[in-house]
Structure 1
Amino acid sequence: MSEMDDLRQRIARQAQRMKQAERDRPTLIGQTIYIGTLGLILVLPVVGGAYLGYWLDTMAQGYSVRWTIGLILAGVIVGAVNVYLFIRE
């Protein structure tokens, strides 16, 4: 009889875990907010770098895109690190 009790307990625990997993499943709104946050922390440094680079290039004499390109690339790197750290958290 003890084998049957053990089997019932294991099945009850598995059923309880399945119910808990169903309750803890992320909702559509929660997933949307998470993806939106990832997008923002990736895009904001790139856009900020582009604007700052453009402003610095307008301060220079003649035609130059050196600062713009450099700060866009720096923004991509900073954004990628931000996304990595956010996901790891």
Structure 2
Amino acid sequence: MNSRLHLKKKIESQIKRIKQADKDRPNLLSQTIYIGTLGLVMVLLIVAGIYLGHWLDSGIPGYSMRWTLSLLFLGVLIGIANVYFLIKEL
């Protein structure tokens, strides 16, 4: 009798854990939002670097892409670092 009661409690506990795990599982929408955020963090820094570099280069007489390329690569590096830290936080 005691073993049946123990078995019943153990099964009920496992059922509760399974239901809770199913509820806590990320759904497709939350995963899509997370991946979109990662892409946005990466792309925004690259575009900002290109825009700022182009603006700085336009003030220099003659044809120059020094600032544009430098800030493009800086945006890529900082974007990669941001994505790494966002994934690591998970």
Q: TM-score, normalised by structure 1?
A: 0.83
Percent of counterpart pairs with the same letter?
Answer: 53
Q: Which residue of 1 aligns with 2:19?
A: 19
Matched length: 89
CA distance in 1, matches of 2:43, 2:3: 58
Alignment of 1:73-88 (within 5 A): 73-88=73-88
CA distance in 1, matches of 2:80, 2:74: 10
Amino acid at match of 1:78: I
Alignment of 1:33-72 (within 5 A): 33-72=33-72
CA distance in 2, matches of 1:4, 1:70: 72
CA distance in 2, matches of 1:63, 1:10: 75
Where do 5+ consecutive residues of structure 2 fail to align?
A: none
